[in-house]
Structure 1
Amino acid sequence: MSIPQSGGGPIEHFDALAAYVASGEKPKADWRIGTEHEKFGFTTGDLLPLPYEGAASVRAMLEGMQARFGWTPIFEQDKIIGLTRDGANVSLEPGGAYELSGAPLETLHQTAAEFDAHMREVAEIAGPMGVGFLGIGAAPVWTHEQMPMMPKGRYRLMTDYMGRVGTHGTQMMYRTCTVQVNLDFASEADMVQKMRVALSLQPVATALCASSPFFEGKLNGHKSWRSRIWRDLDGARTGMLPFMFEEGAGYERWVNYVLDVPMYFVYRDGHYINALGQSFRDFLNGKLPALPGEVPTLSDWADHMTTVFPEARVKKYIEMRGADAGSRDQMVALPALWVGLTYDQGALDAASDLVKGWSHETREGLRKAASIAGLQGEAGGVRLQEMAARVLEISAAGLAARGLGEEVLLDPFRESVASGKVPADRLLDAFHGDWQGDISKVYEATRL
Structure 2
Amino acid sequence: MKKEIRQAIYDKYIAPTKKERPDYIGVEIEMPVVNLSGQAVDEAVSIEVAERFIDHFSFIVSGRDADGNITSAKDTQTGDILSFDCCYSNLELSFGKAVGLFEIKEGFEKYVCFLNAEFAKHGYTLTGMGVNPHADINHNLPIQNERYRMLYHYLHSYLKHTDEVDMRFHKRPDFGTFTSASQVQLDVSYEQLTDVINVFGLLEPYKAILFANSYLPDYPEFLCVRNMLWEHSMQGYNPHNVGMFGKSLTNTDELIDYIGTQSIYCTMRDGKYVNFTPLTVNEFFSHDLVEGEFFDGKGYRKIEFAPEAGDLEYLRTFKFEDLTFRGTIEYRSSCCQPLSEALTVAAFHTGLKEKLYELKGIVENDEVIYSHGFNATELQKLLSKQKLPEYIDEGAVERQLIRILDLASAGLQQRELGEEVLLSPLYERVYRHTNPARTMLDGIKNGIPIESYIRQYAAI
> Shorter-chain TM-score: which interval?
0.7 to 0.9
2:205 counterpart of 1:212 = no
SS of the aligned residue for 1:220 comes to coil
Listed one character per residue, the Cα deviations across residues 183-211 of structure 1 (whole Å, up to 9, x for unaligned) are: 11121x31111111221112222221212
Is the CA contact (8 Å cut-off) linking 2:40 and 2:137 kept in structure 1?
no
Question: Structure 2, unaligned stretches of length 5 or more?
Answer: 162-168, 293-303
Structure 1: unaligned runs, 5 residues or longer: 1-10
Percent pairwise identity? 20
TM-superposed CA distance for 1:132, in Å, is 1.0
Aligned pair in 2 of structure 1 residues 314, 380: CA closer, same or farther (>3 Å)?
farther
Aligned equivalents of 2:358, 2:40: Cα separation in 1: 44
The one-character-per-residue Cα deviations of 1:336-376 (angstroms, maximum 9, x if unpaired) are: 1111111x2xx1111111122577933123212321148x6
Contact conserved, 2:31 with 2:128, CA < 8 A, in 1? yes
Report the residue type matching 1:371 in the other structure.
Answer: S
Return 266-275 or 321-330, whichever deviates more. 266-275
Counterpart position of 1:70? 58
2:398 maps to which of 376, 381, 385 = 385
Distance 1:330 1:235, change over 3 A: farther
1:127 correspondence with 2:120: yes
Task: Give the one of 308, 320, 323 matched to 2:317.
Answer: 308
Give the residue type in structure 2 aligned to 1:90.
Answer: L
Q: Does 1:240 align with 2:244?
A: yes
Name 1:274's counterpart in structure 2: 275
Q: Corresponding residue for 1:321? A: 332
State the alpha-carbon separation in 2 of the partners of residues 145 and 62 from structure 1: 19
SS of 1:98's equivalent? strand
* Two-structure CA RMSD over aligned residues (Å): 2.9
CA distance in 2, matches of 1:19, 1:200: 27
Q: Matches of 1:447 and 1:61 in 2, distance apart? A: 16
Q: Number of residues paired by the alignment?
A: 418
| Residues 1:138 and 2:160 aligned together | no
Identify which of 139, 143, 149 aligns with 2:142: 149
Q: Is the partner of 2:222 in helix, strand or coil?
A: coil
Conserved? CA contact 2:30–2:181, under 8 Å: yes
State how 1:356-395 maps to structure 2 within 5 Å.
356-357=364-365, 361-373=374-386, 384-395=397-408
Residue 43 of structure 1: how far off its partner (Å): 2.4
2:70 match: 80
Q: CA deviation at 1:392?
A: 0.4
What displacement does 1:308 show?
A: 1.1
Distance 1:281 1:177, change over 3 A: same
* Corresponding position: 1:47 with 2:38: yes
Deviation at 1:271, TM superposition (A): 2.4
Q: Quote the residue 1:19 is aligned against.
A: 11
How far apart are the structure 2 equivalents of 1:147 and 1:191?
A: 37
The AA in structure 1 aligned to 2:378 is G
Task: Note the alpha carbon deviations across 1:212-260, whole angstroms, 9 max, x for none.
Answer: 33436xx8132222244344331512121123x1433x2x433443343
- 2:128/2:336 contact within 8 Å kept: yes
Instruction: Give the deviation of 1:105 after TM superposition.
Output: 0.5
Task: Name the CA distance, whole Å, in 1 between partners of 2:32 and 2:276.
Answer: 30
Distance 2:331 2:389 in 1: 20
Deviation at residue 391 of structure 1 after TM alignment: 0.9
Partner residue, 2:454: 443
Pick from 347, 350, 357: which aligns with 1:336?
A: 347
Code of the residue aligned with 1:125 in structure 2: it is E
Distance 2:267 2:6 in 1: 19
Q: 1:352 aligns with which of 360, 364, 367?
A: 360
- Offset at 1:417? 1.0
Please report how far the alpha carbon of residue 113 of structure 1 lies from its aligned counterpart in structure 2 after TM superposition: 1.2
Q: Aligned partners of 1:63, 1:378: CA distance in 2, in Å?
A: 51
Q: Which amino acid aligns with 1:47?
A: G
Contact 1:213 1:222 in 2 (8 A): yes
Cα deviation, residue 332, structure 1: 0.8
* TM-score normalised per structure 2: 0.81
**Distance in structure 2 (CA, Å) of the matches to 1:445 and 1:285:** 53
Separation in 2 of the partners of 1:417 and 1:133? 26
Measured in 1, the distance between the counterparts of 2:269 and 2:51 equals: 26
